[in-house]
Chain A
């Protein structure tokens, strides 16, 4: 019954029908992953089972949260060389191949997440059944870590679901729920918990033919058609990510196009390709981003925040969208603004969000039922958390706080979504300033994962912890920042945006400026970003930061706002907008010198200043904040990491050069000294590192 000679990650039971049920219950961890020891033990089990010849073999998980989360990502970081990587991958592939060649029916009984290597194990089985509930997610998200499936996933998925569906899953990295997985044939049955075992048993005992894709799926796998499908996919892929920054999906696409009908060769090529990718720069940095994400998740314990009711004041774009997001994540939300006409559009946006996210009308209705307009602020007294998201005006906010505070529950927290007003300027309006904290969301709320947790000098430790916990309850990433002007993200971003505006007023065409930034790996160019955020908002933040940090506000920005060109929302800003999209005139090749450096180095310089001032606790959190708050090129690992990689010394030299050419705004921050000293020290300690 017990593992032949393992350390007890797997548990084997054989039932009266002779079916072997092999349950993974990784020792000492809450989540199942394919670590080295899990794989080793599995090899032993498979060897024994091949001898025992059970009626069939069912893989399942004893963990409540899911089936199998894939490879152990911490092991990635220990891989040094491509050869080492190749060895590890071949070993995983071999295990999967052994499962696939067992002489009796095999099945994966899936609940919760079944992703990456977990799904590849399931793909090696003859059948798959999945529990039909919201927690079940299946997919191959490897591309998000800069690699592609390496345990035979790229080989086994296309013949099962067809080339088109397989490429969609592998290239996008998106996950499917059980029903969608059933629809494309990824699983044979999607059934509720109560039928899961019956479904598994039925398949094992009756041994129906394995699933095959429909004619379209088979056609797309056919050699003469593949180049066409591949070139279409490639074009769609190119619209999203560049091959230089994100080589992994391109490599996966290439594998399929060349080798989809030669499984053995494809398996070899898959291993070689992943070994190459996993040791590459892009993957290393994406893995780094993954761990930053994990670390930030750990900053808040979701269950520490026990409240159910959030009251939002201000139904504008930010306030309304925060309200909708909280309702989507299960909170009961009351939404206050001065009049119904301000609230109604927020409800409409919420409904659209719920439809997009939840799809099932009954669940959309549930979410809408949790979102209650409250123009008279009648329900503040019931709220566990009050979030203020009104316009940026100190007096108005103070007046509101004076009104709200006496009506709030004594244990409730008051949070402000201010993006520019330090908490210490708002706190005097409160009898109990220790309950005031900043929850700075980013626009669009439903997309931007980061929430800056702004702590003023009065903010109590308990309040901060609850704010972080709340942020996790709504599935966002908390980043504790000090209450200094612009906090972290806006402050670091602003010099970069202003430099872009400066370049534009010098005559560099806007598309060329944006192009330079996206070439660096920013998700959107700074000019388009300014238009998207709204030029009035940019101007406001720029002014406030300018006052505090002594930077100049470009005249061009002021003039555009005066003319009523506020960006995307008004139909014109730097660009003109048609149906919400910027019209970018075709441009001749522009060769403006220092284009990229002028923007990026100002950003880096500000990041260094923030770190020196202690706006965030450490360099990693700064990187995490910029990646998840602005989309700062994740394959570059964040601004501080980028500085480390390019070297602090040469970057400072470059800043000094720029200062000479363009003025004092490029003056290197004193913080560079510390960085350079730190890097030198490290190099002395670890000779050989670059």
Chain B
């Protein structure tokens, strides 16, 4: 019985006390109003302020972030100090690409399980619209020469060597979304999966449409009220909803979009991929001791987590590789899980996961399982929309889906849930949570 309360089968139990996130703001071709640390602050500040403990009683702050700004080195510490948590609370940043936010939760949970921490602020933040635009390397060399040129003659010579191609900027975001080992863009890995599992364009577009419809319904019913904080910029604007939603989208409109990654014959379009988005989500994790000491409310328990690696060219199947051992270890099958959040990096990628999950050959050959899992009930998967409709701020999503999963479980009266993401570079991550209101 005792082992049932433990995190990952050993160590102390880990509780999720509370959480908050910003609205996800779609990148509109230029830097958005918030940097990554600004977003984190807007999510975490009200979260901390509504707790019964004072912020300096936290043991540590762990933040997932893929591309913090050049002026935000170890962004977790920047956030902690800007939050006024106090200089004595240490903070560090974790990076596992698209699952950085989930990595932060997992690391926090492990430290609590080990007894090293009792109270941790953990989450993720990403301002993808602020991804740096870099100078091409030849231009950097040229600038070095220019710096050394002293006399007018030398300067003239240096100027004569400058070519228009030197001035072409390097878009950091595109580099970040391209696998550095296999050389495929993330969209191309989705094309690989679409080909392998024979997923046609219409099925992808249907999935995308459903994601928007679900998000629209969830917004209308106020399902994000409990997790979202309104955020404000300096120019008199405020943001209170995920603004990537297209209420007017239809299958016909989605069908008109051109493929963006494999032109001209590909199937993955901007319409059936996750949006480039800014956002942050933070949670407070606590040991049973801390819950009792501060009489904290409990949202749920973090039961277990799993990381897995696979072929980078098929990184979209990461969730299958992470969820399979997780469920297997606990002797569970799909029907034992009440709700699922599988991050929608691409419609094709989630659809491929669903197919692989129930495919005996795939489960046997790739996962070493005797038989396939029962199909996941799509009515219990991403019930309020996902990355395709609300966006995927890479560092944030892992924390966001865990927070939202707990909200869904509570709302629908479910007990157990699994949240999972695919990770650029060929990995998958998954956590299992349980909705509970109290410390066992």
Contact = CB atoms under 8 A, between A and B. Distances in A.
Interface of A: 332, 334, 340-341, 343-345, 347-348, 351, 365-366, 368-369, 372-375, 378-379, 382
A369 B41 contact: yes
B234 interface: yes
B161 interface: no
Interface of B: 41, 45-46, 49-50, 82-84, 230, 232-238, 240
B232 A344 contact: yes
Contact of A344 (B45, B49, B83, B238): B238
Contacts of B230: 340, 373, 375
Contact of B82 (A347, A351, A369): A369
Nearest to A335: B232
Contacts of A343: 232, 238
Contact of A347 (B41, B236, B240): B236
Given A332-B84, A378-B46, A351 B238 contact: no
A379 B50 contact: yes
Contacts, number: 46
A373 B50 contact: no
Nearest to B234: A351
B55 to A, nearest CB: 11
Given A348-B235, A369-B84, 5 more contacts: A334-B49, A347-B236, A369-B82, A372-B49, A373-B232
B25 to A, nearest CB: 15
Contacts of B41: 369
Nearest to A355: B234
A344 B46 contact: no
A351 B45 CA distance: 18
A70 B237 CA distance: 47
Contacts of A369: 41, 45, 82-84
A372 to B, nearest CB: 6
Contacts of A366: 82
A365 B234 CA distance: 10
B232 A378 contact: no
A349 to B, nearest CB: 8
Contacts of A382: 49
21 contacts: A340-B238, A343-B232, A343-B238, A344-B232, A344-B236, A345-B236, A347-B232, A348-B234, A348-B235, A348-B236, A351-B235, A365-B82, A368-B234, A369-B41, A369-B82, A369-B84, A372-B49, A374-B46, A379-B49, A379-B50, A382-B49
Contacts of A334: 49
A374 B232 CA distance: 11
Given A332-B84, A378-B46, A340 B240 contact: yes
The CB with the most chain A CB atoms within 10 A, among B41, B84, B232, B233, is that of B232
B211 to A, nearest CB: 27
A359 to B, nearest CB: 15
B234 A378 contact: no
B49 A378 contact: yes
Contacts of B238: 340-341, 343-344, 373
A347 B234 contact: yes
A341 B230 CA distance: 11
Given A332-B84, A340-B240, A378-B50, A372 B45 contact: yes
Nearest to A374: B46
B365 to A, nearest CB: 53
B240 to A, nearest CB: 6
A635 B233 CA distance: 43
A376 to B, nearest CB: 9
A344 B84 contact: no
A374 B49 CA distance: 11
Contacts of A372: 45-46, 49
Contacts of B45: 369, 372
Nearest to A361: B71
B76 to A, nearest CB: 16
Nearest to B240: A340
Contacts of B237: 344
A368 B233 CA distance: 10
Nearest to B230: A340
A253 to B, nearest CB: 40
Nearest to B45: A372
The CB with the most chain A CB atoms within 10 A, among B46, B83, B233, is that of B46
A334 B49 CA distance: 10
A132 B234 CA distance: 29
A616 B127 CA distance: 55
B171 to A, nearest CB: 25
Contacts of B234: 347-348, 351, 368
Contacts of B49: 334, 372, 378-379, 382
A495 B84 CA distance: 49
A348 B45 CA distance: 19
Contacts of A374: 46
Nearest to A351: B234
A676 B401 CA distance: 79
The CB with the most chain A CB atoms within 10 A, among B83, B234, B240, is that of B234
Nearest to A382: B49
B421 to A, nearest CB: 30
B294 to A, nearest CB: 15
Contacts of B233: 347
Nearest to A309: B49
A347 B236 CA distance: 6
Contacts of A375: 230
Nearest to B37: A365
Contacts of B236: 344-345, 347-348
A378 B49 CA distance: 8
A368 B38 CA distance: 10
A375 to B, nearest CB: 7
Kindly list the 3 A-B residue pairs having the minimum CB-CB distance in the complex, ordered from nearest: A348-B236, A351-B234, A340-B238
A200 B45 CA distance: 45
A378 B230 CA distance: 13
A343 B230 CA distance: 11
B300 to A, nearest CB: 22
Contacts of A341: 238
Contacts of A345: 236
A606 B46 CA distance: 48
A366 B84 CA distance: 10
B20 to A, nearest CB: 11
Nearest to A347: B232
A340 B232 contact: yes
A341 B236 CA distance: 8
A300 B161 CA distance: 69
Contacts of A348: 234-236
Nearest to A370: B84
A348 B233 CA distance: 8
